[in-house]
Amino acid sequence: MSRVLSTEQAKTSIQQMQAIINGGFTDQISQLDSQGKTLSDPNVWDGPLAEKFRGSTWPETRAALDKAKQELEELRSQLTQISQNIMSAGGGA
């Protein structure tokens, strides 16, 4: 038989993680994307370092940010499900 445990600390941690995600972390990733796009425009910034930024630095970073944003969205969904499970198991107060 599996152990089922839902402490107040678990509920608090879930709520705090949700608050961090909902509190703008994904918005900050979007803001970084916007600034990266601006810096990728050769009419805004050009030269050898700008070319490197446009060619490799930013595309790699943007891919990592996109992946992080997607994973945060998945985490948010999982946290909602976990919270609902805790409440239905009698851990909600």
Q: 11, 23, 5: which is closest to 84 by C-alpha? A: 11
Which H or E run includes 53?
none
SS3 category, 32: helix
Which H or E run includes 3?
none
pTM: 0.74
- What are the tens digits of pLDDT across the range 31-86? 999 999 999 999 999 999 999 999 999 999 999 999 999 999 899 889 888 888 77
